[in-house]
Amino acid sequence: MAFGNSFDGGITIADGSVTTAKLADDSVTTAKIADANVTAAKLNGAQTGSAPIYGARAWVNFGVDGSNDVLFIRASGNVSSITDNDVGDYTVNFTTAMPDENYAITGSGTTGNPNTNVEFNIGNARSEPTASACRVVTRGSLNLVFEDGYWINVVIFR
């Protein structure tokens, strides 16, 4: 499908693929991709080297208000909700399930206490990840006691 229109840098994409060579400013915006969906086919050729590119399947930035233990999501992608299981123990629920439970989970976090860092643990043998959710826990690095995180980031790759 030919776009026929020139965008920011006078770019015309004839075959629907997006590469850094075709984008003068190396950015991908919805104005430059007609359907706003980035697919493996559209990324093909955009990387340098032979290693493939893998996008995050889900991500979330959430926190707990320490005074009321109110859980809130600041921003997310493919995360429908967070379940507060206990102090420092959360389940991340996916909007669209993963193909299976064999995905990678990474994350980081902080507490509301400036003197405490969060030691971020994934799963902690409380439950195995499933295609529809994963469990994460946060502990204070000074005393290793489970603590609610104020700023928690979780990313899922598959």
Q: Where are the domains of the chain?
A: 1-52, 56-157
Phi, psi of 13 (to 5 degrees): -110, 110
- pLDDT at residue 28 greater than cutoff 70: no
Number of neighbouring beta carbons within 10 Å of residue 54: 11
Across 136-158, average pLDDT: 83
The rounded percent of the chain whose pLDDT value lies above 70 is 57
Residue 69: pLDDT band (50, 70, 90) is low
> Given this model, what pLDDT does residue 96 score?
97
pLDDT for the residue 7? 45
What digits encode the pLDDT tens for the residues 92-114?
999 999 999 999 999 888 876 66
Name the residue with tokens 């609610």. 148
Dist. CA 126–CA 128, nearest whole Å: 7
End-to-end Cα, the chain, rounded Å: 29
Say yes or no to pLDDT of 139 above 50.
yes
At 103, which amino acid appears?
Y
Structure confidence at residue 30 as a pLDDT band (50, 70, 90): very low
DSSP 53: P
Choice between 18 and 67, residue whose per-residue pLDDT is larger: 67
| Phi-psi category of residue 64: left, alpha or beta, with phi > 0 → left and psi -120 to 50 → alpha | beta
Tell me the sheet residues that pair with 60. Answer: 76, 154
Q: Which residue has the tokens 């559209």?
A: 42
The model's confidence at residue 132, banded by pLDDT at 50, 70 and 90, is: very high
User: Helix, strand, coil % (nearest 5) of the chain?
Assistant: 5, 40, 60
Q: Which residue from 87, 158, 91 is spatially nearest to 127, judged by alpha carbons?
A: 91
pLDDT confidence tier of residue 8, bands split at 50, 70 and 90? very low
Enter the pTM of the model: 0.68
